[in-house]
Amino acid sequence: SDSINLAVIGGDGIGPEVVAEGLKVLQAVSGAKVSTTDYDLGARRWHRTGETLPDTVLEELRGHDAILLGAIGDPSVPSGVLERQLLLRIRFELYHYINLRPARLFPGVSTPLDVAKVAPNGIDFVVVREGTEGPYTGNGGALRVGTPHELATEVSVNTRFGAERAVRDAFARAQARERKHLTLIHKHNVLSYAGHLWRRTVEEVGQEFPEVSTDYAHVDAATIYLVQDPSRFDVIVTDNLFGDIVTDLAAAITGGIGLAASGNINPDRTTPSMFEPVHGSAPDIAGQSKADPTATILSVAMLLAHLGRHDEARRVEHAVSADLASRGDKVRSTTQVGDAIAAGVI
């Protein structure tokens, strides 16, 4: 474990720029020998070859300790193609059943909220989003497309197996935290089949974690809590789609998606986990060194923690925290931010 063998997918738009800064910080902080393999995947490759994720590449990815991803997606590619055939395919095939998304308001970071009023105790929670089921499986279909009688369905698939492993992971995370509190977010008053499965799973797995308190919020009400009283949350567990929605909102209230990190994690470690900023490829600012690499750098901290390199992870977080505290309103380039944080990890 004195080497880290990383697969790197820069991807589209600002992806390669922010990934470069993430790697810069990783090299600066880690005592390990970091070796990287770049994979050219995303819009460019699709336009050139029609390929999204060749099977051989997927097999190669498996051979790494972890994957660092920048961003995938470009308006020139039909909606859904890269998302489903590349990003979601990796998440599904590599069993990334935990999509982990911390939401933490760092000192000095400004947010759209009147924080003094609604979050005097700060914001510090983590969302455990299920990553392989729900409405994300691609089940569904369309009939009579283009006619007045068109019908389109989307099927949300939820298994006890899938919910339980996400819920158990979330309980374990709650157990390890100071407040030991878990909130299930769903919509069980309308989505009764899936909702009851999730509720019962939380009740039953909860027996194994008697110290963890639990509560429940419908997803609509949860968005209200997230802006009116975000301090109430400690660990959130939820399905793939609700998790997608609440983590973007969670990012917004903690300083924006320029700061939001994520890990697509296989806790069983039979495959490499993948770390990526929550933001997208932002083609409008690509190539201008305007993107904030902080979300990627915090994703690198999550990657280090996942590899058991907790001290290095903490040093990255501290360097980010220090940099954020002193940012003020000054505008810096992508590389300047990366340089400053890399200098701070020593």
Catalytic residues: 136, 187, 220, 244, 248
Closest separation between CB of residue 59 and its own copies, Å? Answer: 25
Residue 221 contacts its own copies per CB under 8 A: yes
Report how far apart the first and last C-alpha atoms of the chain are (Å, whole number): 20
Question: x/- site string to its own copies, residues 11 to 30, per CB under 8 A?
Answer: --------------------
280 has binding-site annotation: yes
Contact partner, 322, from its own copies, ligand IPM, none, Cβ < 5-8 Å per class: none
Q: Which of 330, 344, 236, 266 is nearest to 292 (CA)?
A: 330
Q: d(Cα 165, Cα 266) in Å, to the nearest integer?
A: 10
Name the pairing type of β-strands 124-130 and 213-218: unpaired
Q: Which of 104, 26, 25 is nearest to 66 (CA)?
A: 26
Question: x/- site string to its own copies, residues 151 to 190, per CB under 8 A?
Answer: xxxxxxxxxxx--x----------------------xxxx
> At a CB cut-off of 8 Å and minimum separation 6, what does 179 contact?
234
Contact partner, 148, from ligand IPM, its own copies, none, Cβ < 5-8 Å per class: its own copies
Residue 21 CA, chain-centre distance (Å), reads: 18
The conformation of residue 283, written as its DSSP 8-state character, comes to G
Alpha helices (runs of H) in 207-261, residue ranges in sequence order:
219-228, 240-253
**Interface with its own copies: number of residues (CB under 8 A):** 69
Question: Which residue do the tokens 């089940």 mark?
Answer: 139
With residue 8 as reference, give the H or E element that holds it. strand 3-11
Structure tokens at 75: 């308006």
Residue 220 contacts ligand IPM per CB under 6 A: yes
The conformation of residue 85, written as its DSSP 8-state character, comes to I
The one among 135, 206, 293, 338 contacting its own copies by CB under 8 A: 135
Structure tokens at 5: 């063998």
Contact partner, 270, from its own copies, ligand IPM, none, Cβ < 5-8 Å per class: none
Judged by beta carbon, residue 248 or residue 339, the one nearer its own copies is 248
Residue 113 contacts its own copies per CB under 8 A: yes
Residue 244 contacts ligand IPM per CB under 6 A: yes
Closest residue to ligand IPM: CB criterion: 83
Around 335, how many Cα atoms within 13 Å sit in the side-chain half-sphere? 3
Site residues (vs its own copies, CB under 8 A): 73, 79-80, 83-84, 88, 110-114, 117-118, 135-136, 138, 140-142, 145-161, 164, 187-197, 199-200, 219-221, 223-224, 227-228, 241, 244-249, 251-253, 256-257
Residue set of the binding site:
91, 101, 129, 220, 244, 248, 280-292
Site residues (vs ligand IPM, CB under 6 A): 73, 83, 87, 189-190, 220, 244, 278
